[in-house]
Amino acid sequence: MRTIVFITPPGVVSAALKQAAEDAFPWTMIEEVAHVDQAIRIFPSTVSLLLVHPDFIADVERCASDLFRYHPMAMTAVLDNELHAERELAIRLVTSTLVRSVFPVQVRHDISLSILGLLLQGIEYFPRALLGAAIEKPAEVLPSVSEPEEVQPVPPHLRVLTKREMQVLEMVQRGLQNKSIANDLNLSGHTVKIHLHNIISKLGARNRTEAAAIYRNVAPGNAVH
C-alpha cells in the first residue's frame, strides 16, 4: 500500500474525488490533514504523494527537512486552484526545487485521476496555463529554470526516479555499498535502503545489480551530479 496525503483546509477536496482516487488506485489510501505539522509523522503505509494547498506552500518549505525525513519517497504537488491567475505564485511554483507538480481538483474526475496516475509514477505535471503565466515575466526573474542541473536531459526509462534516487543509483553502479552512499549523501543507512527498494521497484529490476545495469545502459554520460 501507498499513502497519498492531502495537506489542505477541510472541504477543499471533495469526498467524491478522494473516494474515486481510492477506487481507481486500490493499492493507495488517502489521508487528509489540516496543517503541515500534522503530516510530520509516520503513516500506516509509505507516503508517495504530498498534495498541498497553495496557502500552505510556505509552511511546507519551512518544514521540508522534517517532512522528507519521514517521507523520503514522496513527491510534492500543489493543488491547482486557478494558480495561473496569480502570476507571482506561478513563477514561484515553476522555479521551486521542492514543488514538482500540480494536481488539478476543479476538473472532471477522470482528468484528475489520469494526472494522479502520472504523479504516482513519479512523472511531473504542470498545466500549460501555469507555465504561460510564469514565462510572461522577464527572463531574468527565472534563473533557476536555465540551470544545467534542472534541464539536463534524462532518458524516459529513468524519469520515474526522483533526483535523490538517481544519485543513489549512480553511486550503486559505481560499486559503492550502502554505508558509503549514506556517508556521501549524509543519509541514514535505513533511508538508503528505502531508496534502493523504491529504485528497484520503479525500474522493474530484480536486484541492485540489475538496476545498476539499467542505469549504465541508458543514463546520459553515466553520471549524475
pLDDT at 31: 93
Q: Which domains does the chain have, with CATH numbers?
A: 2-146 (3.40.50.2300), 153-218 (1.10.10.10)
pTM above 0.75, yes or no: no
Segments in the chain forming alpha helices (H): 15-24, 57-62, 64-70, 87-95, 109-120, 128-135, 148-151, 163-173, 178-185, 189-203, 208-218
pLDDT at 3: 93
**What does the alpha-carbon distance between residue 105 and residue 79 come to, in Å, rounded to a whole number?**
7
Taking only the tens place, the pLDDT of each residue in 6-47 is 999 888 888 898 999 999 999 999 999 999 999 999 998 999
pLDDT bracket for residue 201 (50, 70, 90): confident
Taking only the tens place, the pLDDT of each residue in 98-121 is 778 888 877 788 888 999 999 998
Top-confidence residue, 30 or 219: 30
pLDDT at 114: 92
Going by the DSSP 8-state scheme, the letter that residue 74 receives in this structure is: P
pLDDT at 5: 94
* pLDDT of 50 higher than 90: yes
